Structure 1
Amino acid sequence: MKPKFCSTIAAVIIALLSLNQLAAAQSADDKAAEDKGLAISTERKARDKGWGSSESDIQMILRDAQGEENVRSIRTKALEMEGDGDKSLTIFEQPADVKGTAFLTFSHINEPDEQWLYLPAIKRVKRISSNNKDGAFMSSEFAYEDMSSFELGKYKFTYLRDETLNGQDCFVVQSVPTDKFSGYAKIVSWIDKQEYRVLKSEFYDRRRDQLLKTMTMSEYKQYLGKYWRPLQLDVVNHLTGKSTRLVINDIKFNTGLDDNDFNKNSLKRAR
């Protein structure tokens, strides 16, 4: 074998080994980022356990691209479930065209969520199909899937970087939905390092693979000496120019709610 030919083979072998080493290093880095993303998200979830039940009064402000507003009054009820996702009930009180509308969600960890919408105009309970979870909730910039509780089993997490947001040190974590019917390709969230509160989330559309909307959460208040809740949520749709603001006026915990307050049969009687 000629020396020149041998040196060529050696160079190819060295190059292949280098590529394998780079791939292995990249794989290790990816695994570390996934582990850290999951650890951050697990801590986020752990810090919000044990609140039991809650009720709140909310203003929903819808704004179109021209800035015209439509204001709604809402009441919500929520029940924490052991070993599964939470249950929630949303009741519209004003204005007249939506009064009496009620929305029930049974969130799950590893199964599709169950959701029902009661429409008083036709006195009918409509089940929201799992393949329609990306639909707009009551003409707002929230999707039906946004109305479910945050559960670790619904996502694959990746830590992206550290970043400062509004003077607060944050983890930036990417969440990729595991549900094939999700409307999102990914969600990128800024989570403050001190209290593990989500300050901002960017939602990327699955079909267009581009930034769809941004949600910012502000005016955080601590309840029961442990649980943080934002008193204002703003969602801006970057494709339509529309936005939705939620202003939480009051939250009460340990309100004595149980399973009987969250079932399909009670939707029509929701008050």
Structure 2
Amino acid sequence: YGETSERELRNLVLEITEDNEGDWSLIVFDKPRDVDGTALLSYAHILDPDDQWMYLPAVKRVKRISSVNKSGPFMGSEFAFEDFSSQEVGKYSYNWLRDEACGDRMCHVTERTPLYEHSGYTRQIAWTDTTDYQPRTIEYYDRKDQLLKTLTMTDYRLYEDKHWRAHDLFMENHQTGKNTRLVWSDFVFQAGLTESDFTTNALKRAR
């Protein structure tokens, strides 16, 4: 069945309401021990390159992720650094393709093209259900416009009667045959986070 590895992580997000700015996020790995404390800090922007830093506890060093390397694999997974950046609406141009059935629902099928520089993708095709506007499937096409990956999002749950969140994200790489499943156990809103929780100093003490 091939090799498998399992990791446990937390993802903190701060909503930023300023124009031309996206949300801030901090991903922290807790298990296994060899990655405990490894953390990724992201400041999303609409068209300017996102700012990303990674803390590696083994060398006690914060490393800035180059904007030209965002398409590389994140922590050996099939998700790229780019995939963990906030998916702001203004980052893409959109083209409606069709409506069609997706499972037991109807979906809008749209093509979105990154407007920001150094994306690893020429385009993405997204299936979004027409009832609750939940993203169901996204196909990612590489720089040669070949199908690279497919992300499938399932197990949606409703929080605070207004926030739908997928608990199961399955990323399949069609070119390598590998896949990564990301399973969220819970989501907490209005958690009292502030900008001081999203600094490079906070990155070092995230564990």
Task: Provide the C-alpha distance between the structure 1 equivalents of 2:56 and 2:145, rounded to a whole number of angstroms.
Answer: 33
Tell me the CA shift for residue 180 of structure 1. 2.9
Greater Rg over alpha carbons, structure:
1
The one of 107, 114, 120 aligned to 2:51 = 114
Gap regions ≥5 residues in structure 1: 1-65
Stretches of 4+ moved more than 6 A in 1? none
CA contact (8 A) 2:149 2:174 kept: yes
- 1:122-171 Cα offsets, whole Å, 9 max, x none, are 11100001111101111111111111111122111100001101121000
The CA deviation string for residues 224-255 of structure 1, in whole angstroms up to 9 with x for no partner, is: 11010001000000000110001111111111
Pick from 183, 188, 199: which aligns with 1:263? 199
Residue 151 (structure 1) aligned with residue 84 (structure 2): no
1:92-131 paired onto structure 2 within 5 Å: 92-131=29-68
Match of 1:236 among 130, 154, 172: 172
Output the CA distance in 2 between the equivalents of 1:181 and 1:201: 19
Q: 2:72 aligns with which of 135, 138, 150?
A: 135
Q: Distance in 1 between matches of 2:16 and 2:145?
A: 34
Report if aligned partners of 2:97, 2:109 keep a CA contact under 8 Å in 1: yes
Distance 1:167 1:68 in 2: 34
Higher relative contact order (CA 8 A, sep 6+): 1
Q: Deviations over 1:23-50 (max 9, x none)?
A: xxxxxxxxxxxxxxxxxxxxxxxxxxxx
Distance 1:180 1:86 in 2: 18
Using the size of structure 2 for normalisation, the TM-score is 0.97
Distance 1:255 1:154 in 2: 27
User: How many pairs does the alignment contain?
Assistant: 205
| Deviation string, structure 1 residues 81-124 (Cα, Å, up to 9, x no partner) | 11220011011011111111011000111311000000011111
Identity, % of aligned positions: 51
Query: d(CA) in 2 for partners of 1:125 and 1:117?
Result: 6
Secondary structure of the structure 1 residue equivalent to 2:83: helix
Please list, as runs of the form range in 1=range in 2, the aligned pairs for 1:1-271 lying within 5 A after superposition. Answer: 66-83=1-18, 84-206=21-143, 208-271=144-207
What TM-score, normalized to structure 1? 0.74
Q: Secondary structure of the residue that 2:203 maps to in structure 1?
A: helix
Does structure 1 conserve the Cα–Cα contact (< 8 Å) formed by 2:49 and 2:117?
A: no
SS in 2 for 1:229: strand
Shift of 1:209: 1.6
